[in-house]
Amino acid sequence: MAVTVKTMALIVSFFGFLSFILGVIAENKKPAAGTPVPGEGVVTCKFPADPTVALGYLSFAFLIVSTVAGCMSLFYPYKGKSVPQGVLFKRTSFLVFFNIAVVLKKRLWHGGFLPCHHTVVATMSFHGE
């Protein structure tokens, strides 16, 4: 079965939507605060067992799958014909789209993961900030 533009669009959309839904569910199910555990010069928080970390990682994994499929769809040879990359990057609209996608990827990648978010929120709520 040959891959068509419509099939690639459905694949990218499905995994992107699944990533979004899992991310929203993970964000809504996270615990409000943890139990403070004092240590030597530091206070850590212990959170109850919950599925938010797993949902967050699944959301991130499906986001990566969607991103890879989206990148593949740009350069995939449909019906045996591929567009030369030099031609794609000469188009201003594609160049703008590509640069915005790269900037957003870098911003999201350095944003951190859900476990890091739990630690920061717990520390801030414990110190009253």
CA separation (Å) from 23 to 74, 101, 108? 26, 20, 13
Q: How many domains does the chain have?
A: 1
Partners of 45 in beta bridges: 36
Residue with more model confidence, 113 or 96: 96
Write the DSSP symbol of residue 84: -
Give tens-digit pLDDT for 28-38. Answer: 887 777 788 88
Query: Which percentage of the chain shows pLDDT scores above 90?
Result: 12
Task: Note the pLDDT of residue 19.
Answer: 92
Does residue 103 surpass a pLDDT of 70?
yes
Span 48-73, average pLDDT: 86
Q: What's the whole-model pTM score? A: 0.61
Does residue 11 surpass a pLDDT of 60?
yes
d(CA 87, CA 100): 19
Domain extent at residue 39: 5-127
Q: Which of 98, 69, 86 is nearest to 10 (CA)?
A: 69
